[in-house]
Amino acid sequence: MKKFGSGGKNMREMIDKILITEDEISKRVAELGKELEKEYGDRELVVIGILKGSVTFMSDLIRHIDKPILVDYMAASSYEGSESTGHIKISKDITVPIKGKDVLIVEDIIDTGNTLSHIIELFKEREARSVKTITLLTKPSRRQKNVEVEYIGFEIPDYFVVGYGLDYNQIGRNLPFVGVLKEEYYK
């Protein structure tokens, strides 16, 4: 990314192609929410969003779970630009106690799986009753760690995508769909 900004263009004009439309996302998110509602029943569920990418997905998802749940966020990242650094940094921890609780990690995308495998390990060390993961997107072709992901919104090819919470160097989170940025914004 040359600099933050679009040179006067709207966000949509910065997109090369739309991979997943607003409609497709909202249908799938509703399905996943209902699946979770059934799965957890009356068990005490702590839903933990990994900042910042999961925020849009999570805020839509939890409104389809018609049960009492606890919500928290953790800031953890293993990325610089579009290259994985292979390690994770936790810059904001959760405040809800999870010992003995069912935990659901909410991710925007699972790429190499490095970030997620660290987070699962951490929550297991903290003695959560169960730790499962839901992700909006997964890029199976890029996986390095063999992590289990119980709920998946969409499988995508190896594009660097933005929108619906996902960013390229912080740009693009506010797009309502998932799309691919035009090359000129990351070359």
Catalytic residues: 111
Cβ closer to ligand XMP: 34 or 145? 145
Q: Which does 115 bind (CB under 5 to 8 A by kind): Mg ion, ligand XMP, none?
A: ligand XMP
Name the amino acid, one letter, at 110: I
Cβ closer to Mg ion: 14 or 56? 56
Q: Which does 167 bind (CB under 5 to 8 A by kind): ligand XMP, Mg ion, none?
A: ligand XMP
In sequence order, the 6+-apart residues with CB closer than 8 A to the CB of 177 are 18, 19, 20, 21, 22, 25, 163, 164
Q: Which does 102 bind (CB under 5 to 8 A by kind): ligand XMP, Mg ion, none?
A: none
Q: Least Å distance between CB 136 and ligand XMP? A: 10
Q: Least Å distance between CB 41 and ligand XMP? A: 29
- Range 83-89, long-range pairs (CB < 8 A, 24+ positions): 84/111, 84/112, 84/114, 86/112, 86/114, 87/114, 88/114, 88/115, 88/118, 88/119
